[in-house]
Amino acid sequence: MLMARKVIIIEDSQTIRHQIGKLLLNEGYAIVEATDGVEGLDKLRTEQDAALALCDINMPRMDGIEMMEKIKAEGTATPPLLVLTTEGQASLVKRARAAGAKGWITKPFQPDMLVAAVRKLAGPP
């Protein structure tokens, strides 16, 4: 039996986590949640079969870019990282890209656009 592809949602807003979670579950993906960069780092280390990680930038304890820079410095293999944030400055995009991000979505987002980006990076569910 085939397992659904897994997406890690690293986002401090419960609203956004639940919204994306419901959207991706409806599409057939499995989801794992993390509420800040510290938890996100842990999930990236342990959920090695994940197909994608969606990651906010502005979060408590550790922000998303710092989290990506840390996991890259460790040399831990990660799924594609897709940034989902309110911010859109070129300097931040450049930093995220250098840290290994494969995409960037600026909030607020259209659900179908988010699903399209997830399918592109994670593959079909």
Partner 1 sequence: MIPLPPGQWDRMAPLLTECFLQLFAFYGAAAELVPGSDPGPRSDRDELASFVGLFGPHARGALLTVTSMPLLIATHPMAALGQPIDECMAQDWHNELSNQLAGRLKTKLTPHGIGDLRLTPPKCLIGAGMRGFSRDHDRALAFRAMGVPVQVVLELYVDETLDLGRVVAPDEAQVAEGEFLLF
Query: Is residue 37 a contact partner of residue 67, using CB atoms and an 8 Å limit?
Result: yes
CB of 97 to partner 1, least distance (A): 5
Tokens of 10: 């690293």
- State the burial class of residue 119 (Cβ atoms within 10 Å of its Cβ: 0-12, 13-18, 19+): middle
Q: Binding segment for partner 1 among 6-14, 42-50, 69-77 (CB under 8 A)? A: 6-14
For tokens 């870019």, what's the residue? 65
CB of 94 to partner 1, least distance (A): 10
Our finding on whether 119 is near partner 1 (CB under 8 A) is no
Q: Return the residues of window 31-70 that contact partner 1 according to CB under 8 A.
A: 58-60
94's CB contacts (< 8 A; 6+ apart) are none
- Rank residues 28 and 46 by Cβ distance to partner 1 and give the closer one: 28
Q: Which residues bind partner 1 (CB under 8 A)?
A: 12-16, 18-19, 22, 58-60, 85-91, 93, 97, 101-110, 113-114, 117, 120-121
